[in-house]
């Protein structure tokens, strides 16, 4: 499982000119799912997302988590995080999980995050052509990979 986490002051997802999810003050999480990802990967990532201390405290230091600030999450499925660009100029997405595996895992991640935060997580629409708008705060952008826990 791979993720790009962005600290935002606002973010939204629009599909066919309809807003499907929007937040203020929180995290925009782009989530890529691989065929062999498991609930262990999902649970590890979810814990990381809600406990990352990347929000400023009273002294301006990044010491607070999304839970500490009562922030929100906009979770977007993003198979292109598994792009392989080694050969040629057209990326291959062969490592990304197919929809029958990826969609339930994406939905399970949304539920896991909602349970941990005790509030609804905002979503995009799996597989749709989504337009994402955000105001990155900091900017703070972090990449994570559940298969490389030692480096994240």
- 79 is a catalytic site residue: yes
Out of 78, 84, 122, 126, pick the active-site residue: 78
3-state per-residue secondary structure call for the chain: CEEEEEEEEEEEEEECCEEEEEEEEEEEEEEECECCCCHHHHHHHHHHHHHCCCEECCCCCEEECCCCCCCEEEEEECHHHHCECCCCCCCECCCECCHHHHHHHHHHHHHHHHHHHCCCCEECCCCCCCEEEEEEEEEEEEEEEHHHHHHC
Out of 9, 39, 80, 84, pick the active-site residue: 80
99-117 vs 39-51: helix crossing angle, rounded to 10: 40
- 85 is a catalytic site residue: no
Judge contact between 13 and 130, C-beta under 8 A.
Answer: yes
Out of 6, 20, 55, 79, pick the active-site residue: 79
- 47 is a catalytic site residue: no
Catalytic positions, please?
A: 78-80
């Amino acid at each position: 499982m791979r993720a790009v986490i962005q600290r935002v002051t606002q973010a939204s997802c629009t599909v066919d000119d309809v807003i499907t999810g929007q937040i203020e003050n929180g995290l925009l999480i782009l989530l890529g799912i691989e065929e062999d990802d498991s609930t262990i990967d999902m649970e590890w990532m979810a814990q990381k997302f809600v406990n990352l201390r990347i929000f400023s405290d009273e002294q301006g230091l990044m010491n607070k988590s999304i839970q500490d600030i009562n922030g929100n999450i906009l979770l977007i499925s993003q198979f292109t995080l598994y792009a392989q660009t080694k050969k040629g100029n057209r990326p291959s997405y062969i490592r990304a999980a197919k929809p029958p595996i990826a969609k339930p895992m994406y939905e399970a991640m949304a539920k896991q995050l909602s349970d941990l935060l005790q509030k609804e997580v905002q979503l995009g629409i799996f597989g749709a052509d989504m337009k994402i708008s955000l105001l990155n705060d900091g900017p703070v952008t972090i990449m994570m990979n559940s298969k490389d826990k030692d480096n994240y």
